């Protein structure tokens, strides 16, 4: 059974304190791994897609990396506006184009 | 205007009532999805459609039905609502790279 597990469930950081969020996956065949950001009361917003082990993508203070078993979302020198829930999702070969989401990591960055 | 619009944004209904949630998109994508989000369970796929003639069940389709009226419109129905269908519902579309774009969500309460 395809599984996506995110850790930690919640993370509290001081402004400027860098850290990483983890997304581990067990799938029959990975077509792509996606990261989303969700603000309270809003729909998820696309951040990155990663397709193969060793791939990296960056956007402002965020950097996503991928291995054969997990992905990391590195947050460098976070600001309070980075506070949100970060969702990881996988697209599995042979399962159409729908995404299988993890439960998310709730990030709070305090001043 | 939002690319993916859901109506209504909030709805309270009684057990046993039929309810329809509507979704329209202006992105021109063929692929559309309905997800529900529950605290602690994350986003789970209800139904998806890859074009107007294609409808597929997702992980949790029991108790739900859908209609794809046009490329831009995808509706979700609860034929006889029950309290455990209380949740936040999201409609999404995706492009050819499978990047999903979500609506603002419909908060449904079944009493």
DSSP structure string for A18-81: -EEEEEEEE-SSEEEEEEEEE-TTS--EEEEEE-STT-EEEETTEEEEE-SSEEEEEE-S--GG
**Above 90 in pLDDT, residue A50?**
yes
Angle (CA) A32-A38-A44 rounded to 5° is 55
Q: Which pLDDT score is estimated for A28?
A: 87
State how far the Cα of B56 lies from the Cα of B40, in Å rounded to an integer.
25
- Residue B33 structure tokens: 């999805």
Q: Which pLDDT score is estimated for A1?
A: 77
**Above 90 in pLDDT, residue B12?**
yes
State how far the Cα of B63 lies from the Cα of B61, in Å rounded to an integer.
6
Chain-centroid distance of CA B55 in Å reads 13
Q: Which pLDDT score is estimated for B41?
A: 86
**Above 80 in pLDDT, residue A79?**
yes
Q: Which pLDDT score is estimated for B1?
A: 58
Angle (CA) B19-B23-B24 rounded to 5° is 150
Residue numbers in A near B58 (CB within 8 A)? 98
Tell me the per-residue pLDDT of B14-73, one tens digit each, with 9 for 90 and over: 999 999 999 999 999 999 999 999 988 889 999 999 999 999 999 999 999 999 999 999
Hey, how many other C-beta atoms are within 10 angstroms of the C-beta on A38?
20
**Count of A-B CB contacts under 8 Å:** 57
A94 vs A10: which has the higher pLDDT: A10
Burial class (CB in 10 A: 0-12, 13-18, 19+), A54: exposed
Average pLDDT for B95-99: 89
Mutant choice from A31, A35, A43 vs B, greatest count of B C-beta within 10 A: A43
Q: How far is A88 from chain B (nearest CA, A)?
A: 10
Chain-centroid distance of CA B101 in Å reads 13
**Above 70 in pLDDT, residue A2?**
yes
Residue numbers in B near A45 (CB within 8 A)? 102
């Amino acid at each position: 059974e395809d599984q996506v597990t995110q850790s930690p469930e919640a993370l509290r950081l001081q402004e400027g304190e860098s850290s990483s969020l983890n997304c581990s996956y067990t799938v029959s065949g990975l077509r792509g791994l996606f990261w989303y950001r969700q603000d309270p009361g809003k729909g998820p917003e696309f951040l990155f897609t990663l397709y193969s082990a060793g791939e990296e993508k960056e956007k402002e203070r965020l950097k996503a990396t991928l291995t054969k078993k997990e992905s990391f979302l590195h947050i460098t020198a976070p600001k309070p506006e980075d506070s949100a829930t970060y969702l990881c999702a996988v697209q599995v070969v042979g399962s159409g184009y729908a995404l299988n989401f993890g439960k998310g990591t709730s990030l709070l960055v305090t001043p | 205007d939002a690319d993916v619009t859901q109506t209504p944004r909030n709805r309270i209904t009684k057990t046993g009532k039929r309810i329809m949630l509507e979704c329209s998109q202006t992105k021109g994508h063929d692929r559309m999805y309905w997800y529900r989000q529950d605290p602690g369970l994350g986003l789970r796929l209800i139904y998806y459609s890859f074009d107007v003639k294609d409808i597929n069940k997702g992980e949790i389709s029991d108790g739900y039905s859908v209609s794809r009226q046009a490329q831009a419109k995808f509706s979700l129905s609860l034929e006889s609502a029950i309290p455990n269908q209380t949740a936040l519902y999201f409609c999404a579309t995706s492009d050819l790279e499978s990047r999903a774009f979500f609506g603002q969500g419909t908060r449904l309460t079944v009493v």
